[in-house]
Amino acid sequence: MYALTERFEWKVKRSTKTRFTATCKNSKCEWVIRAGKLKNGTYWHVKSFVKEHTCINDDNYNMQFSRVSSFIIGELFARKMSDPGCTIRPKDIITEVREQHDINLKYNKAYRSKNHALNKAFGDP
């Protein structure tokens, strides 16, 4: 959600069972987050986080947000889906995400997001 609201894309530099590092997709940017798993093996601890981006997010930057997962989008729509009589189509998800976040989603991602939202709202079929 942070990347969505701050309007930047990120990439995974390292991901193991005990460590995680992500950086801004712009290689010149200094934004980074590093986390490690605590000894109990259940929780993660953010070890370092450079909050400020040194890159400029202009209108020419590709705002496809390939890293925005259907899980995250589904979480946004789960509450709406639980309302009686609510019918949301993938097309509606595409439109709302474009209007609210200026992000272009592909149909397949919107479809998976809808399925996740339904599972979250009503449980697995």
Q: Tens digits of per-residue pLDDT, 1-59?
A: 555 555 667 788 999 989 999 998 888 888 899 999 998 878 899 999 988 878 765 54
Q: Summarize the confidence of residues 88-107 as an average pLDDT.
A: 88
Q: In the predicted model, what is the mean pLDDT of residues 68-92?
A: 85
pLDDT band at 78 (very low <50, low <70, confident <90, very high): confident
Q: How do the domains of the chain map onto residue ranges?
A: 2-50, 70-122
Q: How do the residues of the chain divide into helix, strand and coil, expressed in percent and rounded to 5?
A: 35, 20, 45
pLDDT above 70 for 107? yes
Q: What is the pTM of this model?
A: 0.53
Asked if 37 and 44 count as a contact pair (C-beta separation under 8 A), the reply is yes
Tokens standing for 121? 């709202």
Q: Give yes or no for a contact between 45 and 55, defined as CB atoms under 8 angstroms apart.
A: no
